[in-house]
Amino acid sequence: MSDTWQMAVSEIGMQDAVRVVLDVAPEEDGERLDRLIAQRVAEISRSYAQALVKAGDVYVNGEPARPARRVRKGETIEVLLPPVPEPDNLTPEYIPVPVIYEDDDVIIFDKPPGLVTHPAPGHEHGTLVNVVKALRPDVPLLMGGERPGIVHRLDKDTSGLIVVAKNEAARRYLVQQWQQRDVVKRYTTLVHGVIQEQEGTIDAPISRDPQNRKRMAVVAHGRPARTHFRVLERFRDATLLSVLIETGRTHQIRVHMDFIGHPVVGDQLYGKRPFRIPVPRQFLHATYLKFSLPESGRPIEVETPLPADLREVLERLRAEG
């Protein structure tokens, strides 16, 4: 994050600020203001949220917010963010990533496994953002300096559909749909063990694991998270599932499946169970998306099949019985 990005809005003039308005949901009652901003606003860390509050660039119900304030359900939060300059170190890189759909407002990619979504320490190059800058250099940098138009994320080793906005108006329109849970997100996953029920719902709150900050976990006072699953195929020691998530918590499917005793096959963070067939990565693929396009409001449905590495796993399972 550049020094220019970290300047408070009050230092550069409010007329240039990007305004983000949040309504506090019932389940967020009592949450710290800085934490809520970090959770709800893409690309904002908790420390930067604290800096914005101290600089007077966060308002609650029209009044400047106090540091360490806790929010109440129904309150309206306004966050003023400075415009984002073009970073000097973002290198366009041509990496083959299939484009499923594109118009003047959005690009939908079929992200391959192993591709990081955005630059981070240790992954400054070879990311989807580098690809976007190479393919569409006119796409402006939005909300965070080094993550052009990224609306949502997929883990490095999760493949599948990911949406990128091509302008700020489209990004806001799409982010609102994600925040209001108007997007249908379906994944395909293979989990350990045989699930007897044909379908089910996991309703368990998720937050940072208090014992290991690198993991998420089901925590009593975490953020609400709901995962629906349907059995597609059963094997003698594994189950292939279609999974639909209502919420989009970090690692949600991986955490929830581990929570019910059926961790995702190949997951090296949750479960870590050995499997009789070599699996190159966590068996998790973002298969299907349905949302409304920014310009027309027209609903769009996109679907992508399992990539070759995961298909090979299923073929071996079927062959071995």
Surface-to-core class of residue 153, CB atoms within 10 Å of its CB (0-12 exposed, 13-18 middle, 19+ buried): middle
Euclidean distance between CA atoms 185 and 121, whole angstroms? 29
- DSSP lists the bridge partners of residue 79 as 20, 58
Cα of 168 vs its chain's centroid, Å = 18
Euclidean distance between CA atoms 92 and 46, whole angstroms? 29
- DSSP lists the bridge partners of residue 203 as 226
- Catalytic, 155? Answer yes
What are the structure tokens assigned to 304, written together?
């992508």
* CB proximity list for 194: less than 8 A, separation 6 or greater: 234, 235, 236, 237, 238, 239
Of these residues, 34, 105, 155, 157, which one is catalytic? Answer: 155
In this structure, are residues 252 and 217 in contact, taking their beta carbons and an 8 Å threshold?
no
Closest CA to 98 of 162, 30, 193, 185: 162
What are the structure tokens assigned to 17, written together?
């600020």
- DSSP lists the bridge partners of residue 243 as 187, 229
Phi, psi of 215 (to 5 degrees): -115, 160
Phi, psi of 311 (to 5 degrees): -60, -35
In this structure, are residues 73 and 29 in contact, taking their beta carbons and an 8 Å threshold?
yes
Active site residues: 155
